A = this chain, B = another copy of it.
Amino acid sequence: MTSAREGTGRVPSPTAAAGGPVSNTLIRVTRLHIMRARQLFRELGLHPGHELLMMHLWDAGPQRQSDLAAAFDTDSASMTRTVQRLERAGFVRRRPDPADGRATLVETTPAGLGLRRQVEQLWSELEAATTGDMTPAERSTLLAGLERVEANLAQGR
């Protein structure tokens, strides 16, 4: 492997750049992370991503579906069905927005609220499984790097 980087504009093939690219590793890490999350939350009856929606509701209180769709950067159609699934599972309920006859407010049910402790517990376990062996300094370095990446990817959308 030549340490000399070619300045000719040809970027070295990612496949040849063994172990190199962040994207590659990020994809692998992501896969593992989501698998672990799925495994942790499945026993609560939550599908991956739904725990985030529940956490949002716990934090922010009743929300209109349109706000939820915006917060999770998805489509109102997708959010409709996600909320329906959570409603069927008994974790959220909907009621008409008194301030706007078109809108519905989504809020947690008591059953959904009862999940909170467990979800937060599992969330901590997930975090521990992810960064458990890191020092606070290492963790915050990683976090800073991820936030750099986030800012990079968020720009130019």
- Is the C-beta of A142 less than 8 angstroms from some C-beta in chain B? yes
**Please, what's the 1-or-0 string for A31-56, where 1 marks a CB less than 8 Å from any CB in chain B?**
11111110000000000000010011
Tell which of A81-89, A92-100, A148-156 binds the partner: A148-156
CA A156 to CA B132, docked complex, whole Å: 13
Known A-B contacts A21-B123, A129-B156; the reply to A12 vs B69 at CB < 8 A is no
When the two chains form their complex, are residues A4 and B153 in contact, meaning their CB atoms are under 8 A apart? Answer: no
Task: Chain B residues near A133: list those with CB within 8 A.
Answer: 148, 152
CB of A32 within 8 A of CB of B123, answer: no
Bound CA span A13–B134, Å? 19
Q: Is the CB of A14 within 8 A of B123?
A: yes
B147 x A25 contact (CB < 8 A): yes
Other-chain contact of A142, B1, B4, B33, B145 (Cβ < 8 Å): B145
